[in-house]
Structure formats: structure tokens, C-alpha cells
Amino acid sequence: ETGVTQTPRHLVMGMTNKKSLKCEQHLGHNAMYWYKQSAKKPLELMFVYSLEERVENNSVPSRFSPECPNSSHLFLHLHTLQPEDSALYLCASSQVVLPSGDGTDTQYFGPGTRLTVL
Amino acid sequence: KNEVEQSPQNLTAQEGEFITINCSYSVGISALHWLQQHPGGGIVSLFMLSSGKKKHGRLIATINIQEKHSSLHITASHPRDSAVYICAASNFGNEKLTFGTGTRLTIIP
């Protein structure tokens, strides 16, 4: 138990569906992340929110839309996905050192959501 | 070419053996992370280090900043150590982590 929870754990959706992934952290951290893990590829960073502001999105397709309503919750809204979007989606949180913002404290990962797009 | 390279990609060993997993990186970093991912996807952060050596139980992580190289060692390996071990580099002043492809470790009883 890392203090980061994700729901649902498994999701199967059609290409025309709209769904959302949820992440919640109970660690008091100020930064949250979405990662995508495809088979036989390194983890890919999708979005970073630091102090509830998006700081990086790495040119992720617009069919993925993040939302961070507060420092404890992070959503990933999905619509019109493609089969190649099937992957494990991992959420993580960390405490970014302020005010210089230098370095990154250890990231704590949730268990992931296994997404299958039919 | 990935900015963070790990070797070997797969490693199978007998219970009790001493295990070494290597990580080389080509980017400037502020810290190097070692993560463990068990079947089913759950990831646990093992170490974050920026210099020298850290030890936790049977796990030891070392880093050589000049050579841009880190190693993860497991002493007296056990079947429950079977997992994918991932090396990741974080950049100074940036929350981004750059991940290696992972090393799949299998410990046979």
C-alpha cells in the first residue's frame, strides 16, 4: 500500500466510449503524474501537475484529457480512444521541494488501471 | 536510443545468488531512482540516490556520477525478489522522470 489509489483497476471500452480514470493520493504531496506503460516499452510520462497547475504534457493526443481539481485528486478523461491506447495507466505523486523546485522526491505509484480498447 | 539504458533485460538466477542490475544514463540528473514492479503492475520505489551508496535490507544501490552509472544489488536472492526492476533518472528542477526499459528478474527456488 503506497498511499496512492487508482480506480478502476481494469477497464474495457469501445472506441466510441467516454470514460474516466481516477487517482487519489493520501500522502499530502503537491505533485501528481499520469504515466502510460505499453508492453515492452519504457514508462511514458503523459501529464504532470505541480501545485494543481499542469507543467508538462509531452504532446499527448487530445483524446486524453487530464483534470486535477485539488492536490489529492487526479483524473484522466478518455474519449474516442484507439486500440493502440490499450496499456497500463499509472498514477504517481511526489513532494516537490519549494521554493527552488530543485530535484524530485521519490515518486509513489498507484497500482495502475489496465485499459483495453476494443 | 533511450537516454536511460539497463542491462541485462532478463536475468534468471538460483535462490541465494548475488544479483547485479546495471543502469547507464546519458542525461544530466539530480537523482537516480530504482523501482520494483511486481506482476499485475504495482510499482514500489526502492531507492532515490544522487551520490554514493544506499542500503535497505538485502538491497544495495550505488551510483557513480562521473561515469553516469548506477547498480542495484540483491544479496541472498529469494523467489519473492522476482519482479521487473526499473531505473529512472530525474532532472534538476524538473519533475520529469526518464525511465529505462526495465530488467526482468526471475529467482528460481
CB–CB contact A106 B48 (8 Å) = yes
- Chain A contact for B65 (CB, 8 A cutoff): no
Residue A103: its pLDDT value, please?
44
User: Which of A88, A104, A115 has the most B C-beta neighbours within 10 Å, making it the best mutation to test the interface with B?
Assistant: A104
**In the predicted structure, residue B104 carries a pLDDT above the cut 60:** yes
Higher pLDDT, B30 or B81: B81
DSSP per-residue letters across B51-99: SEEEEETTEEEEEETTTTEEEEEESS--GGG-EEEEEEEE-TT---EEE
**In the predicted structure, residue B92 carries a pLDDT above the cut 70:** no
- Chain B contact for A101 (CB, 8 A cutoff): yes
Question: B21: closest CA among B56, B54, B53, B59?
Answer: B59
**In the predicted structure, residue B38 carries a pLDDT above the cut 90:** no
Please work out, in degrees rounded to the nearest 5, the angle formed at the alpha carbon of residue B34 by the alpha carbons of B65 and A39.
Answer: 120
Band of pLDDT at residue A19, cut at 50, 70 and 90: very high
Residue A106: its pLDDT value, please?
73
Residue A43: its pLDDT value, please?
83
- Chain A contact for B21 (CB, 8 A cutoff): no
Residue A99: its pLDDT value, please?
47
Residue A102: its pLDDT value, please?
42
- To the nearest whole angstrom, how far is the Cα of B31 from the nearest Cα of chain A? 7
Residues of B in contact with A56 (CB under 8 A): 95-96
Is residue A108 within 8 Å of A20, Cβ to Cβ?
no
Neighbouring C-beta atoms of residue A113, cutoff 10 Å: 22
Q: Tell me: the pLDDT tens digits for B45-80?
A: 888 888 899 888 899 999 998 999 999 999 999 999
Q: Tell me: the pLDDT tens digits for A52-103?
A: 777 777 678 999 999 999 999 999 999 999 999 999 999 999 887 554 444 4
Residue A1: its pLDDT value, please?
65
**In the predicted structure, residue B27 carries a pLDDT above the cut 60:** yes
- To the nearest whole angstrom, how far is the Cα of B96 from the nearest Cα of chain A? 7
Q: Tell me: the pLDDT tens digits for A102-111?
A: 444 578 889 9
CB–CB contact B45 A109 (8 Å) = yes
**Amino acid found at B30:** S
Any idea which of B10-14, B19-23, B35-39, B50-54 has the lowest mean pLDDT?
B35-39
pLDDT averaged over every residue in chain B: 87
Higher pLDDT, A95 or B94: A95
- Chain B contact for A109 (CB, 8 A cutoff): yes
Residue A116: its pLDDT value, please?
95
